[in-house]
């Protein structure tokens, strides 16, 4: 993106207020602390019929004011107004195309194949970055820092007007990531990595429909640590068409199957620790919770032996 004269498409729309609808942030001319230029960051946005959100996504990237940005949009042949919106911002894009593809993972991989940045990520067409995210990412993953990937916090925004919720991203270990049933806080739009990571683990698995991001993080974690960044970096819109909203059952099934594919040999103690932990959390604990609720309802009092905490 040029730091010179502002293109009219990046001026603030009259009917919009707040981030990212204001004019773009001024691009910094300050070098990194070691005197080197800002590393190029490649952002890939896969798009398909998200005209309701995609302009917010695009502006949140372009309005960062980041001086060495490579922004690529891969649209899957949208039939709504997505293409018209993309064309509006085309002068600021490194590359964009609208053509049929084989799904979201394929679209992201097409973008990765064209990318050249030292730092990489993808941003879905219904998510958006918060101000100064790319500066934070560049400072954290710059050469010489020893960091190869990072995870920050992500804000969940509800279309029905409910208060937003901040999900604090945190990486602990590969083992903890495999134990998805205990809950893991690594949200895709707040994760970035250096090209060395991509060179090591390659493209997304195009056979994955719901959990390609989880699969990718596990593959990363087998070779690299994630740096935890205590800052909100991005937002994701939770709406009726969100994939993790309308396909939760299928998502859960794929998650369980894919996690197990990374487990160690059944001959190892680590395998059986994972197996027993999963059975406990996905089968026994839900059963006891249902039983406890039923007994409370029937007797009108709490049964403390089902819980290590206070009863109510």
Better-predicted residue by pLDDT, 239 or 84: 84
pLDDT digits (tens, 9 = 90+) for 224-257: 999 999 999 999 998 766 555 456 556 666 766 7
Closest by Cα among 78, 102, 58, 80 to 212: 102
Closest by Cα among 189, 251, 208 to 53: 189
Mean pLDDT score of the chain: 82
Q: Is the pLDDT of residue 299 over 60?
A: no
Q: What percent of the chain has pLDDT over 90?
A: 56
* Cα(270)–Cα(243) distance, integer angstroms: 32
Query: Average of pLDDT values for 265-292?
Result: 60
Helix axis angle, 212-221 relative to 248-261, nearest 10°?
Answer: 20
Contact 135, 29 (CB under 8 A): no
Which residue has 């919106």 as its token pair? 85
Per-position b or e across 254-284, b if 16+ CB within 10 A of its CB? bbeebbeeebeeeeeeeeeebeeebeeeeee
Q: Is the pLDDT of residue 185 over 60?
A: yes
- Confidence (pLDDT) at 105: 96
Q: How far is CA 171 from the centre of its chain?
A: 14
User: Helix H segments across 46-132?
Assistant: 54-62, 82-88, 104-114
User: Helix H segments across 150-268?
Assistant: 174-178, 195-201, 212-221, 243-246, 248-261
**Domains located in the chain, CATH noted:** 8-261 (3.90.550.10), 269-306 (no CATH)
* Cα(236)–Cα(153) distance, integer angstroms: 11
Better-predicted residue by pLDDT, 304 or 62: 62
Burial category of 206 from C-beta neighbours within 10 Å (exposed 0-12, middle 13-18, buried 19 and up): middle
Q: How confident is the model at residue 179 (pLDDT cuts 50, 70, 90)?
A: confident
Q: Is the pLDDT of residue 147 over 90?
A: yes
Contact 217, 172 (CB under 8 A): no
Q: What percent of the chain has pLDDT over 70?
A: 72
Query: Average of pLDDT values for 58-87?
Result: 97
- Confidence (pLDDT) at 9: 63
Q: Is the pLDDT of residue 139 over 90?
A: yes
Better-predicted residue by pLDDT, 111 or 30: 111
- Confidence (pLDDT) at 2: 35
Query: Average of pLDDT values for 165-175?
Result: 91
Q: How confident is the model at residue 276 (pLDDT cuts 50, 70, 90)?
A: confident
Q: Is the pLDDT of residue 311 over 60?
A: no
Per-position b or e across 72-93, b if 16+ CB within 10 A of its CB? bbbbbebeeebbebbeebeebb
* Cα(66)–Cα(133) distance, integer angstroms: 9
Q: Is the pLDDT of residue 49 over 80?
A: yes
Q: Which of 69-78, 87-96, 105-114, 232-241 has the lowest mean pLDDT?
A: 232-241
Q: How confident is the model at residue 152 (pLDDT cuts 50, 70, 90)?
A: very high
Query: Average of pLDDT values for 203-207?
Result: 95
């Amino acid at each position: 993106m040029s730091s010179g004269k502002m293109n009219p498409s990046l001026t603030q729309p009259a009917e919009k207020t707040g981030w990212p609808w204001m004019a773009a942030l001024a691009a910094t001319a300050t070098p990194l602390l070691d005197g080197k230029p800002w590393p190029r960051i490649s952002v890939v946005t896969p798009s398909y019929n998200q005209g309701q959100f995609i302009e917010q996504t695009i502006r949140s990237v372009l309005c960062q004011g980041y001086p060495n940005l490579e922004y690529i949009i891969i649209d899957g042949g949208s039939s709504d107004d997505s293409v018209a919106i993309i064309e509006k911002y085309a002068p600021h894009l490194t590359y964009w195309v609208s053509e049929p593809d084989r799904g979201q993972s394929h679209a992201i991989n097409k973008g990765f194949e064209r990318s050249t940045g030292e730092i990489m990520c993808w941003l879905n067409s219904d998510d958006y970055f918060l101000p100064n995210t790319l500066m934070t990412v560049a400072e954290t993953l710059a050469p010489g820092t020893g960091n190869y990937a990072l995870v920050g916090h992500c804000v969940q925004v509800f279309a029905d007007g409910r208060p937003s919720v901040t999900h604090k991203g945190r990486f602990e270990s590969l083992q903890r990531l495999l134990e998805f049933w205990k809950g893991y806080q690594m949200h895709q739009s707040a994760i970035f990595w250096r090209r060395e990571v991509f060179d090591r683990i390659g493209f997304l698995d195009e056979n994955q429909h719901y959990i390609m991001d989880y699969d990718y993080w596990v593959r990363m974690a087998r070779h690299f640590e994630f740096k935890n960044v205590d800052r909100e970096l991005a937002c994701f819109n939770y709406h009726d068409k969100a994939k993790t909203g309308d396909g939760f059952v299928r998502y859960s099934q794929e998650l369980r199957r894919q996690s197990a594919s990374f487990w160690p040999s059944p001959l190892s103690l680590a395998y059986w620790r994972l197996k027993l932990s999963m059975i406990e959390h996905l089968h026994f604990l839900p059963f006891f919770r249902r039983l406890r609720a039923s007994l409370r309802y029937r007797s009108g009092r709490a049964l403390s032996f089902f819980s290590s905490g206070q009863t109510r």
